[in-house]
Amino acid sequence: MGSRHRLPILIGGVYWGMRLPPALLACALLGCATTHAPKPVTGPTVGSATVTPTATAPASFVRTTAEAPAIRNVEVRDGLTHQQAMRTLVDGLSERYVVDVVDPRAGFAMTTWQANLMREGVPDLHYRTRVVARFVDDWRSLQLRSEARWARGEEADIGYDVAQLDSIAAVMRGKLGKKP
């Protein structure tokens, strides 16, 4: 086998005799070699306001990796069918949140991530929460879990929002819970 004749590459009206991969590598290296002044660190903009990353997480945020304290159980009253219990759960969650995932067979519902912390009338996009609900013990108990994320620059703290969790547990106790 003889040597293959390489066709020249036409770029910008100039024929280049090198292969395409070395040319692309040279372009990539030149692009990386240019220096830019670092931009000042600012948060995301919402409307005309910029949310600063130096703001602190709300007092209701609990940083944790353990799930046990982030769960509230609601004992479901007798006489509800699975369909009634699921409908009541979704309706109760829909009053305050956008319900994203519903699995009636598994008795599972989950809301979307929401930026529900307001600072100066603007949602703070560094703080997001969602609610996860699941019927357990053959639909005799509803397990509620709050998940929260507090973004600090490139990193995020993971935990739950105790105020959100207590609030949604109270609502669900009123709608699904056993009557005294």
Q: 131 CB contacts (<8 Å, ≥6 apart)?
A: 93, 97, 110, 111, 144, 145, 146, 147, 164, 165, 168
Give the Cα separation of 72 and 169 in Å (integer).
7
At 29-68, the pLDDT tens digits run 555 554 444 444 444 443 334 444 457 888 888 988 776 6
Q: Do 22 and 104 belong together in one domain?
A: no
Q: Is 51 a domain residue?
A: no
At 85-127, the pLDDT tens digits run 999 999 999 999 999 999 999 999 999 999 877 888 887 788 8
Residue 171: pLDDT band with limits 50, 70, 90: very high
Give the Cα separation of 49 and 52 in Å (integer).
9
Helix/strand/coil percent split, the chain, to 5: 25, 35, 40
Q: Do 29 and 66 belong together in one domain?
A: no
At 118-168, the pLDDT tens digits run 888 887 788 899 999 999 999 999 999 999 999 887 888 899 999 999 999
Task: Return the DSSP state at 88.
Answer: H
Q: Is 103 a domain residue?
A: yes
Give the Cα separation of 111 and 99 in Å (integer).
4
Q: Please state the domain count of the chain.
A: 2
Q: Is 73 a domain residue?
A: yes
